Amino acid sequence: MSHDEGAESAPLLGVDRVVKRFGGFAALDGASFHLMPGEVLGPNGSGKTTCLNVISGIYPPNAGQIRLDGKPISGMPSHKLVRLGINRTFQVPQPFLALTVRENVEIATTYGGRDCEADIDATLAALELDAYRFRTAADLNSAQQKMLDLARALATAPRLLLVDELAAGLHRQSCSAWHASCGSWPPPELLCWWSST
Ligand SMILES: Nc1ncnc2c1ncn2[C@@H]1O[C@H](COP(=O)(O)OP(=O)(O)OP(=O)(O)O)[C@@H](O)[C@H]1O
Ligand SMILES: [Mg+2]
């Protein structure tokens, strides 16, 4: 982990002895770490997606605690966590294939409690999806679907954005570049970048 010089002292996210079992197999066996605002978590060992799924409310942990701003959030469902400012991208995006690219992002703004038309177009332009706005998500190639997944996550104005293997060949610098170019959204306090490369 690296830490920003100007970051505040209280961690935004705390993961404390979290266990996630699939039957008899423990994918997470007492995972503990803190993430400070401005911090980036780099390459990690196995269990990245499971950990991200537990933090973002896809799976409840079997044991342990997760805290946002010191308040327990373990087991809270995704639709509540997104309103608290936690959202994520998926290793394998699953957009609404029959809907247009823009409609996919519109749905995300509603999901996150946001409703700002201008920001949608600015974000799609920043992620080089503006030419596809009125095409269906099924028309996108897999890299573009990952950018759409990112646009959908940004559209919920996350404080904590968890990025799971966004795209082969993209690295932290690229991530910062597109993040900086998405100026119409409030930037997340914390970008957590999960990658095996
Ligand atoms: N739903 C599940 N049921 C059973 N086992 C699972 C499930 N999800 C993950 N696992 C197992 O948990 C372990 C960690 O998987 P996970 O996908 O979290 O790792 P990862 O670090 O994200 O891997 P990758 O770098 O391939 O994306 C693996 O052994 C995997 O097979
Ligand atoms: Mg993974």
Find out whether 65 and 11 touch, Cβ atoms under 8 Å: no
Question: Which band of pLDDT confidence, cut at 50, 70 and 90, is reported for residue 7?
Answer: very low
Q: Is 89 in the pocket of ligand 1 (CB under 6 A)?
A: no
Percent of the chain with pLDDT over 90: 45
The CATH classification of domain 13-194, taken from the options 3.40.30.10, 3.40.109.10, 3.40.50.300, 3.50.50.60: 3.40.50.300
Mean pLDDT of the chain: 81
Question: What is the predicted pLDDT for the residue at 137?
Answer: 98
Tell me: the pLDDT tens digits for 123-159?
898 888 999 999 999 999 988 898 899 899 988 888 8
Instruction: Annotate 87-139 with DSSP letters as a single string.
Output: EE--SS----TTSBHHHHHHHHHHHTT---HHHHHHHHHHTT-GGGTTSBGGG
Tell me: the pLDDT tens digits for 82-113?
999 999 999 889 999 999 999 999 999 988 88
Mutate to test the pocket of ligand 1, among 20, 22, 197 (most ligand atoms within 8 A of CB): 22
Mutate to test the pocket of ligand 1, among 50, 54, 56 (most ligand atoms within 8 A of CB): 50
Distance (Å, rounded) from C-alpha 150 to C-alpha 170? 13
